[in-house]
Structure 1
């Protein structure tokens, strides 16, 4: 089945989706701005290669779904994606829709039950952004694991954070994406979140680091605003812009109070940590619920498996 041979009724819906995206997401302007997003796309793995999956099809995600996903992804220059599975069919077909100028870099599958068979990935528009040489999974030093503290990690990350450097015009920056394990309670997440924040802080202070423009983004599984964030991000000097802390900027399609996904960087004047050199302009989330699969009469639960249970979170920088 040709993924580019779109049925007329679906094409009409995609046109409406793009009209809404035109209103909600800033346009990409050559030499003027950079748009970065993070999106946990639920169980982004296999695909039913039909335009409309049936009730007995597994998975429920179909060609209509990935056309919607692709329309959203192409609004950004780089997207960090969490929950990419071992099976890459949906991701590969999404890249075909985006076109040959889009590229991909990703980790191997996280083995073991806790890793949930996931990868982390970046997709990016090579007309706008190039990789600049660094790609690495971050590993905690053994000395940190030996620390005696109720907030110290005692084992490596369940899913290693993934750092990749990119360049646009004269700006070079490192994106670090991760998907924190959920655990049984919110306090279970403190160790991993605090460790990655400390790792970023130490790396940024290192004068021998590859580059000191760091942006941390991904799914931190933070249940709500407040102490957990203060104990981890803020304590290590990481900054989340006010626009993304606004209560109108949502993360979960099921619960408006959840604070799972974040984008952060160092921005503290007079500190010994180099600050981000790019100027932040704006940020937010994109609510795809009213504009995707609108003629399918799907429940929110089913749509979470076809599109996602997370909203994409984005930021815009001035170049």
Structure 2
């Protein structure tokens, strides 16, 4: 009896290991799903009819001094108009003139028709910042909803800024959550993005496509990039091997994250870092640092698959 029992167990184990193709043998077939590999791109996003590009860019201390540098402003315009929509961090300007001024410079370029949605000045300290989304009106529609996360528990140095958009073609609509974390509180602030997600879905359950993007400071001494602080339900679309900073050290500070359940089906599996030396090989290291200490990063999403 025992010999027969062990023989049957052996047959069962062998079937499970080798995989059973007979659909009638219920419970023995092993189904595996492989996730496509992310196409890693160094450079700006290309234009595709069935995809949109979403970027994020920390433009270091973007205020009066930077906007008076004509060569830097021209390069910033050249960067932004390669994106269908891009989140910007680190506007520092008490007069609040830089956000609209930058829009005017973008639209001076022939063929451009961009708009901007921006937050108020945010931050606990006197060095406050504004977030902004610049988007191409030919490709993106703003759905008349933007707000700052009501941070009643003081979870964030700068409260995340949220806006709702859709691709003008196709059926992809989505929330973008713009954030610049405090270096000393990176893990705590990233973990609390789950509360931001919960708030958005509670108030606006009609769409689960919530995309977090910005300067997360998610590397180096600030953060263990191998940690799974948000859990397996989130997809980190900017890989850890991307260097997103101009400094000679290799750091992946800038990130784009979304919920697998709702948004993975829309992801085109294309991610990029828009390195200045790729665009302008003639620039010196010091000239690149005048633009910013961060590179833009971006992802592509399909506009024809959205079911949420």
Shorter-chain-normalised TM-score: which range?
Answer: 0.7 to 0.9
Tell me if structure 2 keeps the 8 A contact 1:182–1:189.
Answer: yes
Please give the alpha-carbon distance, in whole angstroms, between the structure 2 residues aligned to 1:275 and 1:259: 22
Match of 1:123?
A: 134
Are residue 303 (structure 1) and residue 288 (structure 2) matched?
yes
Match of 2:267?
A: 279
Q: SS where residue 264 of structure 1 aligns? A: strand
Please give the alpha-carbon distance, in whole angstroms, between the structure 1 residues aligned to 2:206 and 2:229: 24
Please give the alpha-carbon distance, in whole angstroms, between the structure 1 residues aligned to 2:132 and 2:226: 24
Shift of 1:25: 3.0
Tell me if structure 1 keeps the 8 A contact 2:124–2:158.
Answer: no
Instruction: Map residues 96-111 of structure 1 onto 2, 5 A cutoff.
Output: 96-98=107-109, 101-110=113-122
Shift of 1:280: 2.1
Shift of 1:74: 0.9
Tell me if structure 1 keeps the 8 A contact 2:45–2:298.
Answer: no
State which structure, 1 or 2, has the greater radius of gyration over its C-alpha atoms: 2
Tell me if structure 1 keeps the 8 A contact 2:43–2:279.
Answer: no
User: 1:23 and 1:283, CA in 2 relative to 1: closer, same or farther beyond 3 A?
Assistant: closer
Q: SS where residue 277 of structure 2 aligns? A: coil
Are residue 132 (structure 1) and residue 143 (structure 2) matched?
yes
Aligned pair partner of 1:232 in 197, 207, 229: 229
Tell me if structure 2 keeps the 8 A contact 1:45–1:91.
Answer: no
Q: Structure 2: state its 5+ residue gaps.
A: 1-40, 304-308
Shift of 1:275: 4.1
The TM-score with structure 1 as length reference comes to 0.71
Q: Structure 1: state its 5+ residue gaps.
A: 1-21, 48-58, 146-154, 268-272
Q: SS where residue 27 of structure 1 aligns? A: coil
User: 1:93 and 1:44, CA in 2 relative to 1: closer, same or farther beyond 3 A?
Assistant: farther
Tell me if structure 2 keeps the 8 A contact 1:84–1:118.
Answer: yes
Please give the alpha-carbon distance, in whole angstroms, between the structure 1 residues aligned to 2:42 and 2:156: 39
Tell me if structure 2 keeps the 8 A contact 1:77–1:128.
Answer: yes
Q: SS where residue 222 of structure 1 aligns? A: coil
Q: SS where residue 192 of structure 1 aligns? A: helix
Match of 1:19?
A: none
Please give the alpha-carbon distance, in whole angstroms, between the structure 1 residues aligned to 2:42 and 2:247: 24
Please give the alpha-carbon distance, in whole angstroms, between the structure 2 residues aligned to 1:313 and 1:181: 19
Render the CA deviation track for 1:238-281: whole Å, top value 9, x for unaligned: 1113xx3152x2111114431211001111xxxxx544441323
Aligned pair partner of 2:239 in 232, 238, 245: 245
User: 1:132 and 1:92, CA in 2 relative to 1: closer, same or farther beyond 3 A?
Assistant: closer
Between 202-211 and 280-289, the greater mean CA deviation after superposition: 202-211
The TM-score with structure 2 as length reference comes to 0.73
Render the CA deviation track for 1:80-135: whole Å, top value 9, x for unaligned: 00001224346245334346610011011125526x22100000000110101220
Please give the alpha-carbon distance, in whole angstroms, between the structure 1 residues aligned to 2:160 and 2:232: 17
Please give the alpha-carbon distance, in whole angstroms, between the structure 2 residues aligned to 1:136 and 1:64: 33
Aligned pair partner of 1:219 in 212, 215, 221: 215
Query: Number of aligned pairs?
Result: 255
User: 1:264 and 1:246, CA in 2 relative to 1: closer, same or farther beyond 3 A?
Assistant: same
Please give the alpha-carbon distance, in whole angstroms, between the structure 1 residues aligned to 2:150 and 2:61: 25
Tell me if structure 1 keeps the 8 A contact 2:43–2:272.
Answer: no
Instruction: Map residues 37-186 of structure 1 onto 2, 5 A cutoff.
Output: 37-47=55-65, 59=66, 62-86=69-93, 87-89=96-98, 91-98=102-109, 101-110=113-122, 112-113=124-125, 116-140=127-151, 142=152, 145=153, 155-168=154-167, 169=169, 170-183=171-184
